[in-house]
A and B are shown apart, each in its own frame.
Chain A
Amino acid sequence: MNQDITQPIEPFLKNLLSSLDAQYNSPGQSFTNVESYATQFGSSLKREAAIIVNGTPIVPSQVEDAKLQFQKKWLSMPNSSHQLTSFDCHLIPGTNTFIINFSARVKFDQSGKNRLGESADLIQQNSIVKTVRPIWGSWFGVNGILVIDSNLNGQEIINSFDYRFTYVPKDTTLVV
């Protein structure tokens, strides 16, 4: 037990959060189609992962596994921006799994547009410039619990994903 095996976890967590924050069209990155965009949200989730968001489980169906349902729901959220503020983890002997407890803060785009840049407003200014610059709201608090495979080189390594808002600011347009 002389080697610190927890080093790769921080980059892993940051990658996971930035996959949730990816924008469809941004100066740095753009996706060829909606599917390629949506399927990169939480791409390190296993298809059969147990996924719970704010105490609500995602129930897999015959046609759509939990991962795909999560990705579709996340697609309908406004753009987000996460910041990892703390994490801790234990390797559970004999199981090749880590349990991770992390906390983060997240802010959401308040412009009224979804991740694809569409708004529900009936009358829209058919506008001049298509700047999709988000208007960030106040910080939410998040606590996350993950059980992941200890071999972090795999593509899909998350066995369970539990994401819970611990604090929701009062001036938000997002209804929890």
Chain B
Amino acid sequence: SPFGCQAMFFQDEDIKNVATNFVANYLNLWDTNRGNLMVLYQNESQFSMQLDTSHPHLIEDANTSSNIDFGNYMPYSRNLTRISSGKARMSKVAIGTEQIFKSFQQLPKTKHNLVENPNSFSMECYKYVPLNGIVITVHGSFEEVAQPEIADTSASQGSRGGRFHSQSRHKKPNLSKKSFDRTFIVLPGPNGSMVVASDLLLIRPFTSEIPWLNQAA
């Protein structure tokens, strides 16, 4: 294409250093101890997760990964194309450390192979001018290694989403690989610390076919 293709984009050297350290440490703690990430969030920080079950992916991957089960994400998804009630749209954003930590605990435990397989990730990082911060976006995949710490207890899910839940109301969702896109707005905090103002996580079916590996630029 006339645009070219590369796995990584960093607006400048400073952003590159900050962003690569941030992402490496973040994903490591996301996999091992999410509580340790909470120092990055403040009262006005926002987090939400959206699910795109219809995203294109290599079909072979769906057959190998013990079928695609999104049961752990469905109740919390803020895919705004699918939620019309204003109240529901607003209730699915977690604001402040307490709500955000609870949201983190509602998601399956994971393993990101950033060290073992860095090529399977891509990033774009650039300035966020209004607050002198940076926008960091990561694309990649992870394995689900354990069920969430906090399980979904809303019984209404079973009756409302019968198509997805009728069979498995008492069964835990299958763990499998997923692909994702995640965007942070990171601001400079006091004493050289960092603050995550916004954290948007998108979950989609796993795909092993990754465009940024076939670079023809």
B9 cross-chain contacts in A, Cβ below 8 A? 52, 55-57
A33 in contact (CB, < 8 A): no
The answer, among A1, A4, A56, for a CB contact under 8 Å with B3, is A56
B105 in contact (CB, < 8 A): no
Minimum CB–CB distance from B102 to chain A (whole Å) comes to 18
CA distance A7 to B214 in the complex (A): 38
- Complex interface: stretch among B19-27, B63-71, B78-86, B160-168: B78-86
- Complex interface: stretch among B51-59, B106-114, B142-150: B51-59
A97 in contact (CB, < 8 A): yes
Tell whether, in the assembled complex, residue A145 and residue B44 are in contact, meaning their CB atoms are under 8 Å apart: no
B156 in contact (CB, < 8 A): no
The answer, among A145, A169, A174, for a CB contact under 8 Å with B1, is A174
A129 in contact (CB, < 8 A): no
Minimum CB–CB distance from B183 to chain A (whole Å) comes to 5
Within 8 A of B (CB), among A94-137: 94-97, 99, 101, 103, 105
B7 cross-chain contacts in A, Cβ below 8 A? 55
Residue of A nearest to B87 (CB): A4
Tell whether, in the assembled complex, residue B46 and residue A90 are in contact, meaning their CB atoms are under 8 Å apart: yes
Minimum CB–CB distance from A20 to chain B (whole Å) comes to 13
Minimum CB–CB distance from A76 to chain B (whole Å) comes to 5
B25-41 contact mask (Cβ, 8 Å, vs A): 1 or 0: 00000000000000000
Within 8 A of B (CB), among A129-167: 138-141, 143, 145, 147, 159-160, 162, 164-167
A89 in contact (CB, < 8 A): yes
CA distance A9 to B56 in the complex (A): 23
The answer, among B48, B90, B130, for a CB contact under 8 Å with A97, is B130
A34 in contact (CB, < 8 A): no
B188 in contact (CB, < 8 A): no
Tell whether, in the assembled complex, residue B130 and residue A139 are in contact, meaning their CB atoms are under 8 Å apart: no
Given contacts A84-B81, A99-B200, A176-B1, whether A166 and B139 have CB atoms under 8 Å apart is yes
A54 cross-chain contacts in B, Cβ below 8 A? 1, 3-6, 211-212
Interface class of chain A by DSSP: strand
B16 in contact (CB, < 8 A): no
Residue of B nearest to A95 (CB): B130
Residue of A nearest to B199 (CB): A90
Q: List 29 A-B contacts (CB under 8 A).
A: A1-B90, A4-B86, A9-B80, A50-B11, A50-B127, A55-B8, A55-B122, A56-B9, A56-B217, A58-B3, A73-B2, A76-B2, A86-B52, A89-B200, A94-B131, A96-B130, A99-B183, A99-B185, A99-B198, A101-B202, A103-B181, A139-B56, A143-B202, A159-B129, A162-B135, A164-B122, A166-B181, A166-B207, A167-B211
Q: A73-B2, A86-B50 are in contact. List 18 more A-B contacts (CB 8 A).
A: A10-B80, A54-B4, A56-B5, A58-B3, A86-B55, A88-B202, A90-B200, A96-B130, A99-B183, A99-B198, A99-B200, A103-B204, A141-B56, A147-B128, A147-B135, A162-B135, A166-B207, A167-B55
